[in-house]
Each structure stands twice: as C-alpha cells, then as structure tokens.
Structure 1
Amino acid sequence: MLLIAFAVANILTILFLLKKGYKLKNLLIMMIDGVIECKSIFYIILLMGATISIWLSSGIVPTIIYYGFDYLKDVNLLLAAFLGTAIISFVMGTACGTLSTIGIALLGMGAGLKIPAHILLGAIVSGSFIADKIAPISSLTNLTIQITGTKFWYYLKASLFTLIPTIMVSSFVYAFIGAKYSTSVDVEIIAKYRESISQGFVITPYFLLFPLLVIILAFIGLNIVYNMSAGVVIASFITIIIQKNGFVQVIKTILWGYNAQTGLDSLDALISGGGAMPLLEVVFIVMGSVTLSSLLEGAHLLKSLTETIY
C-alpha cells in the first residue's frame, strides 16, 4: 500500500508541475538525479537482506545465539532481553531482523517463565529499535549520514548524548520489573536450542570476531557498501568451505533468504530469513520517497511551504 501511495503521489506531483509549465524531461531529470544521489542507500538495503541470510547460513548468527543462550542462565531475563536485542540489532543493523530472530526465542523463554508477553515484548522492541538508530550497517543510519554529509563517528557521538541516558533509564526500569519474575530460565529449552544449533552448524567462537570486524571497519570510516559487500563475500566463503554448502545454494540464500532445517521448528523460525529479493519492495518505497522529495525540492514547493509556515 505504501508503494502505491508513493507512486500515486509522484504521478499527481508530475501532473501538477506539468500544469505549472515544467517540462516532463526536466522533471524526469530531477527524479533521476535524486535516485543517483541516494543510490548507496538502495545498495545498503539490499546488502542488509543479503547479510542477514548469509550470516545465518554461515553460522555467524547461530554462533552468537549459541553462546548468548549460555549467558541467559540465572539472569534477569527482562534486562537480558533488552540488552541482548540491542547488541544483536547493533550488529545486524536491523530492528525488524532482530525481532524476527532472537526476539522470537526470547518470547518463547518468557512464556516458560510466566513473564507477561506484553512486558517482555516491550523490552525486546525497545532494545531492537534503540540500537538500530546507531548501527553502522543500518539503512536508517546511513540515510541520515548520506543526507547530512557527516561521518559515522560524528553521527554516533552526537546520537549518544540522548541514547546513553535512554539506555540507562530503560535498563534500570527493566531490571526492576524483571526482578519480580523467576531468575532462572528454562535450561531444558536452552539445551535443546544449543544442541540443535551445534548439530546443524560448525560453531566456533572465532565467528564472533566477524561482526566485530564489521563494526571496527565502520568506525574507522570504510565505505559502508564496501564493508557490507566484503562481509557478504567472506561469509559466503565460510558457508561454502566450513558449513559445506554448495555455491548455487549460497547464491539462492543471498537472493531469497535462508531456510534453516535443524529439525526443531521453533529454532528454524529463529534462524531463518533475510535475502535481497524480499527487500526489493522496501527499495522501491524508498525510491518513491526520494523521487517525490526531489520533485518537491526541484520545483521549490517545499521552500514556499516552509516560508508560509515560518
């Protein structure tokens, strides 16, 4: 629906500007220039889908989950859910991807501990979206950097002034609320997940260095498209060489997403997803917003609107 809305808005804007005397050729040039200027955002969105799927199939995300579960014993699950989803979201660069992976597992654990779903979901959503705003491979972060023309490091420093107090206050609140519930997670559920992951993937703590490397490269200023592309290529080699997946299967995974087959349905739902093709609609939606903005800016309609307001 959002894609249709932007398409209709673009068409109506073009018709309005044609009536005002603008030439169709000039309007098309405005739209194309806008798309070219923001082309890196489109690459990032597609690479984000590819990154999620190939990090799943290579065992990188399963490794994070495998060792992450080990630290959920005898902890405040509500606080752990908030901080854990924040870390995963920061690494993966997507709040929605975090919610659909580790978020599902945490909700299942919360049900076993009799933690109200709406409270636990609040912690999961909060952690996912707080970290998504500063993740180095997040499309939102890179769109902001692209528009403002700033470096990631400066953007991060500016964002932390508000994010650090938010994270501290949220952590205190979730720690306080979580203390009311059981402090030990269902060890049997964790054991099943860990066993299935270890049987389905080659798990090694060295895989934990891979997302750390991506973050470090983003901090030192490497172009995010090159950073993510390198991540996809290296993870593809890991999938082929270490996880023993075929080349054709890796290409399908990158394009259409990863479908886990561990034999445990709840775990399969946890470590499946991603893919570049499912995000094409998102690319077209962003492209529609960019072309509409380019038309409004090129025709000085936004300027006249702001002058009227102020």
Structure 2
Amino acid sequence: MYEVFLVLVIFLVIMSLSVAVFSIPIQLGLFATWFIVIGLGLKLKHSYQDLQASIMKGIYNGLEATLILFTVGALIGTWIAGGIVPSLIYYGLQILNPSIFLVAAMIICAITSLATGTSFGTAGTAGIAMMGIGASFGIPLPLVAGSVISGAYVGDKLSPLSDTTNLTASLAKVNVIEHVKGMLPVSIPTLLITGLLFTIVGFFYVDEQGDLSQAEGVATALNETFNIHWYVLIPAAVVIALLAMSKPAIPVISFGALLGAVWAALFQGMDVVAAINTAYNGVVDITSGVEFIDSLLNSGGIVSMLGVIALILMALGLGGLLDQVGILRTFSNLFDKWVQDSTGKLTLSTMFSAFLGNLFGSAAYVSNITGTKMTEDLYDDRNIDRRVLSRNTEGGGTVTTPMIPWSDGGIYMSTVLGVSTLAYLPFLWFSYIGIMITIFYGFMGWFFFNSGKKKNKVDKHSA
C-alpha cells in the first residue's frame, strides 16, 4: 500500500508543480508520470513489453474520444466562419433577459447535450454562444461558464447518446436505458435545485437594465461583421436532429462541419478554400470592434484540439498502466475491508474510485473504468443491483471531470470557454449538488435496488 500512495503522491506533486509553479504543459507532467508507474511495474517484476502493451490497450479503449474531438474542432471552426455561432449569440441577445439568462443558459445547454449526447460539442457550440451573450450582459464569465458546464454535463451523464453514459453502462454490465432510469432519482432533483440557484442569482445579482447598452452594441457589431439570418442556423438544426435520431456522432459532426464551410462560402462571402481551411486552423481574422467577441470567435479548428487530444492519449495510457501494475486492485481490496455492510461507505468508495480516475487518469473514460472495476464485486457480494454501481460511478466520475485542471474535461472547458478551471470551479453547482444527493441517498439506503443474484463470497475468492 505504501508503494501505491508513494506513486500517487509523486503524481500529485508533478501535476501541481506543472500547473501552479512552472507553467509546464500538463501533458508533459502526465508523460513523466508514465515512467514513475513503469518504474514501480518493473520493480514488481512486470516486463517492459507488458507495461507498454497496457499503455496501448488503455489508449485503444478510449480512442473514440480523440476522433470525436477532431470533428468537434472542425465543427467549431466552420460554424464560426459560417456565421452559425455568431447568429446564435445575436438571436440569444434578442430573446434572453439578463435576469433569467443564467438559468436559461443552463437549460439551453442541457437540452443541447441531451439531444446530442456530448458535453464537449455542447460547450463548443451553444456554450460559446452563451459565453458571448453573458459577457454582453456584463455577467462575470466564470459564473456563465458554471451555468454552461452544468447544463452540458446533464446530457453527458443522462443522454443515451453520450459516450460516457454508454461506457459506464457497459462497464457495469447494465442496459443503457436502465442505467439512465437508475440515475433519474438523483438527476431530476439535482437539475431542479441547480436551476433554482441560477434563477435566484440571476434575479438578485444581475442588473437587468445596466448592461443592455453593451448587449445592443455587441448585437450591432455581430450584424455588421456577419450575415445574420434564420437560415444560417440550419446546420445546427440538422446536426441536432441527426444526433437525436441516434446517428453515429463522428460522421454527423463531420457533416455539420462541412455544412459550416459551405455556409461560410455561400452566406459569409468567404473564399471556398479559406472556408474549408477553417476546419483545421479555425478562425483568426474576425475584427468586430468588440474585444471579447473577437477573442471568443477567433478560435476553433482541429489545431485547437491537438493539446486536448494529446492530454487524453497520455491519460488513457496512464490508466492502462495503473491497471496493469495493480494499483486499482490494491484500492479494491482496501475498500472491501472498509465498506462492510454500509451502503453509505459503499457509495463513497465507488465515487472516490471514480474521482481517482479523474485525478490520476485525467479523463472521464478512466474514471468510468476505476469507479466500476474497483468496486463492482462489492455490489455483487451485497446483493445490490449494478444500476446503483453505474449511478454512483457517474456521480463521482463523469460530473467531476471538469473540476480537475489537468483532466480532459478541465482542459477542454477552460480552452473553449476562455475561463480557467479554478475560476469556474465554485460555480459547478450541478456537479456539487448531484454529489451531495448521491451520498445522502447512499447513507439513507434510498434507491438501492436488490439484484436478486447474491454471490457466494467464499466461493468467489477461493476460485
């Protein structure tokens, strides 16, 4: 156990120094940690070939995420160039009232993420639009980012189209629809309470009249810079509709990126080659005269995703190493002795295991793996349905991903929304409330379904 804790402490020191002291890219910190774990593996008599194979296996298991990020980067670039994102901002300024903006932004992002199944795609499209509208109303950007991320992770956790939802259900050996149903007792009150908090803050904190002049100025600048019309939003409607019909994410998002390039050429007067090029390099030449709008819209492209993709590859490789060396099994044995017959301790064990996946594996995919695999036997031994396992894994893993500055979610959200992880961290109310409700249910024993398949614990260990 001391070897496990030593490795984890070294990891935290490396990542903390990288982020807070030396400003070294987080990817290098993760890369360095590979060799710390490899060193422990060699000491424990694992061959280097097996350790390298575990890195490759870990990366392979989550490789779909990197492919999606390529397409999302292209989508953001062409949708800005095609006027789709600017139009979303413009019409949002016409419709939304400052006092209800925060809760409206959360609801819009929640609906988008439920329909598309992607928190990253939601933040990169509707989220960027909400950031522009919120800034136009004079609302602090970390607060806006909190509402956007809260809404985006509703679908990442609940949508049957979400990769993490499907992955967690698969790892826990639960039907995905049953998994979603099992999360509703937590997610519905969490969403209602979070919406209420953003509503209260909007009414008592945001000045409804004081910022309208700035909003009007932004709308004017957007209208002068882009061709704003309702038909410019057709690609957004097409992509959301196709994803809602359960069409594969990668070709749908790629098709959306193509439509964005076509729209840039047809309706924004861009050269065809330049429009296509925004899919890779993003937009770099917008000069609307409003500084924060220019900063927000001069972005996107596959290039903008390369750092996040490198981070995910490093994180997935580290997750494979942690499994191969036996660190995950060590924690599983520790939890087995601690939990005994307490449903509250069982809940905490699963959530903590999932959080460790984000903290040390730096990716939601790793958290889904650690949450389920480190504690699944504890549920079987106690005759508890695995829907509870999958629910607790999402509660400690998926929604905590954007809290970690060096996780894929933390890096992505801070990059796309232009707000640091530590700045928006206090406003991730959907995540915090969901965690508290999940733990409360655990200690109360509420919504703990009986599996009806009690295992013989003695036989399992003897086998």
Aligned twin of 2:282: 257
Question: Which range moved further: 87-96 or 1-10?
Answer: 87-96
Deviations 1:170-212 (A, max 9, x none): 3333434433464446444333322322222222212334323
Q: 1:179 to 1:144 in 2, by over 3 A?
A: closer
2:84·2:233 contact (CA, 8 Å) conserved in 1?
yes
2:14 alignment partner in structure 1? none
Q: Does 1:242 align with 2:242?
A: no
Structure 2: which 5+ runs fail to align? 1-17, 19-25, 337-463
1:50 paired to 2:74? yes
Q: 2:152 aligns with which of 111, 132, 141?
A: 132
The 3 A distance-change label for structure 1 pair 128 and 182 is closer
Q: What is the one-letter code of the residue matched to 1:305? A: F
- Partner residue in 1 for 2:303: 277
Q: Tell me what 1:297 maps to.
A: 323
Q: Which amino acid is the alignment partner of residue 175 of structure 1?
A: T
Task: Sort the Cα spacing of 1:165 and 1:309 in 2 relative to 1 into closer, same or farther, 3 A.
Answer: closer
Q: What value does the CA root-mean-square deviation take over the aligned residues?
A: 3.2
Q: Report how far residue 240 of structure 1 moved.
A: 2.0
Give the unaligned 5+ runs of structure 1.
112-116
Q: What is the TM-score normalised by the length of structure 1? A: 0.81
CA–CA distance in 1 between the matches of 2:217 and 2:35? 54
How many equivalent residue pairs?
Answer: 298
Deviations 1:68-126 (A, max 9, x none): 11113xx3x24213322552574684476566653254234236xxxxx4xx843x233
| Cα distance change of structure 1 residues 236 and 213 upon mapping to structure 2, 3 Å threshold | same
1:142-291 matched pairs, under 5 angstroms: 142-149=163-170, 161-180=185-204, 182-184=207-209, 186-259=211-284, 260-291=286-317
Q: Which moved more, 1:91-100 or 1:78-87?
A: 91-100
The separation in 1 between residues aligned to 2:175 and 2:79, in whole angstroms, is 26
The Cα shift of 1:29 comes to: 2.0
Q: Partner of 2:3 in structure 1?
A: none
Structure-2 separation of matches of 1:229 and 1:153: 27
- Name the structure 1 match of 2:395: none
Where in structure 2 are the equivalents of 1:34-45 lying within 5 Å?
34-45=58-69
Q: Shift in Å at residue 45 of structure 1? A: 2.0
Letter of the 2:49 counterpart: K
Structure 2 distance, partners of 1:224, 1:154, is 22
Partner Cα separation in structure 1 for residue 244 and residue 57 of structure 2: 29
Secondary structure of the 1:110 match is: coil
- On the 8 A contact 2:54/2:321 being kept in 1, the answer is yes
Structure 1 residue 8, shift from structure 2 partner: 1.7
- SS class of match (2:138): helix
The answer as to whether partners of 1:79 and 1:171 remain within 8 angstroms in 2 is no
- Structure 1: distance between partners of 2:67 and 2:265: 24
Higher relative contact order (CA 8 A, sep 6+): 1
1:106 aligns with 2:134: yes
Alignment partners' CA distance in 2, 1:155 and 1:198: 45
Distance in structure 1 (CA, Å) of the matches to 2:214 and 2:181: 39
> Is the contact made by 1:47 and 1:228 (CA closer than 8 Å) also made in structure 2?
yes
Secondary structure at 1:274's aligned position in 2? coil
Distance of aligned partners of 1:223 and 1:281 in 2 relative to their CA distance in 1, 3 Å threshold: same
Aligned-residue offset at 1:254:
2.0
Per the TM alignment, residue 65 of structure 1 is displaced from its structure 2 partner at its CA by 1.0
Counterpart among 47, 53, 58 of residue 29 in structure 1? 53
1:87 aligns with 2:115: no
Conservation of the 8 A alpha-carbon contact between 2:90 and 2:222: yes
- Kindly state the Cα deviation for residue 290 of structure 1 after the two structures are TM-superposed: 0.8
Structure 1 residues 164 and 62: CA distance shift in structure 2, 3 A: farther
CA contact (8 A) 2:76 2:300 kept: yes
> Under a length normalisation based on structure 2, what TM-score does the superposition of the two structures give?
0.56
User: What per-residue deviation string (whole Å, max 9, x for no partner) do you get for residues 133-184 of structure 1?
Assistant: 1447x9xx53453454389877766655444433333333343443346444
Q: Deviations over 1:269-294 (max 9, x none)?
A: 34332222222121121111111111
Structure 1 206/251 Cα, relative in aligned 2: closer, same or farther at 3 Å? closer
Distance in 2 of aligned mates of 1:157 and 1:221: 18
Q: Deviations over 1:46-78 (max 9, x none)?
A: 222222221111111111111111113xx3x24
Which deviates more from structure 2 when the two are superposed, residues 147-156 or residues 233-242?
Answer: 147-156
